[in-house]
Chain A
Amino acid sequence: EIVLTQSPGTLSLSPGERATLSCRASQSVSSSYLAWYQQKPGQAPRLLIYGASSRATGIPDRFSGSGSGTDFTLTISRLEPEDFAVYYCQQYGSSPGTFGQGTRLEIK
């Protein structure tokens, strides 16, 4: 089973700043089948990025994903107030898939 490790556990930033979230896999992720999700309290997760770098429908272009193999990054170029949430990475190349433990993005 592929283990995903996200860092940092908590990221404290201000609106307007740039956020960089990391996701490292214990082995190579097949065909860059790596996704990122955003989850707000009391809500289901929302897909942001799939295939490591493709934005899902309706996702603003301030969200971008990059990486391959075992190292992946989610970047939010300029934080908006609604971006403060928990972010999870997930690999879905090895079914049924595994999630990272999450990064909490909080307002500084």
Chain B
Amino acid sequence: QITLKESGPTLVKPTQTLTLTCTFSGFSLSTSGVGVGWIRQPPGKALEWLALIYWDDDKRYSPSLKSRLTITKDTSKNQVVLTMTNMDPVDTATYYCAHTGIAAADYWGQGTLVTVSS
């Protein structure tokens, strides 16, 4: 049974750096073809892919946010960490992590709402 859960601060101040952790179980991020990605959704708006890391440590970022994002993995801890620098109120959103394979994003975490406000 695959599960994922996001954790991190619920409130950050403008210009701060956000660090989110995705802790998962039921699969290994050292298995060929497997990836874990981060997606966000501002309140009432559409989904937006942020970043994706694969089993071989290949990393992909949204072109529009690439300069602000870093994604890393700790295979031994079954965790993927996303950092986003220079947070702004427009970054207020629910942040999801998801398992990806040949079947797109087939398992999702419950999401965590991050509010950016002073």
**Chain A contact residues, CB within 8 Å of chain B:** 1, 33, 35, 37, 39, 44-47, 50-51, 54, 56-57, 88, 90, 92, 95-102
Contact = CB atoms under 8 A, between A and B. Distances in A.
A101 B44 CA distance: 11
B100 A92 contact: yes
Given A56-B106, A90-B49, A96-B60, 20 more contacts: A35-B103, A35-B105, A44-B110, A45-B47, A47-B105, A51-B103, A56-B103, A57-B106, A90-B105, A96-B37, A96-B61, A96-B62, A97-B49, A97-B52, A97-B104, A99-B46, A99-B48, A100-B46, A102-B46, A102-B47
B3 to A, nearest CB: 12
A92 B103 CA distance: 9
B47 A47 contact: no
Contacts of A56: 103, 106
A44 B108 contact: yes
A47 B104 contact: yes
Given A50-B104, A90-B105, A95 B60 contact: yes
A50 B52 contact: no
B7 to A, nearest CB: 15
Contacts of A90: 47, 49, 104-105
B26 interface: no
A100 B49 CA distance: 11
Contact of B109 (A33, A44, A95, A96): A44
B106 A50 contact: yes
Contacts of B106: 47, 50, 56-57
Contacts of B63: 1
Point out which of B37, B39, B46, B102 has the most chain A C-beta atoms below 10 A from its C-beta: B46
18 contacts: A1-B64, A35-B103, A35-B105, A37-B47, A37-B105, A46-B108, A47-B104, A50-B103, A51-B102, A54-B103, A95-B52, A96-B51, A96-B60, A96-B61, A99-B39, A99-B46, A99-B47, A99-B49
Point out which of A39, A54, A95, A102 has the most chain B C-beta atoms below 10 A from its C-beta: A95
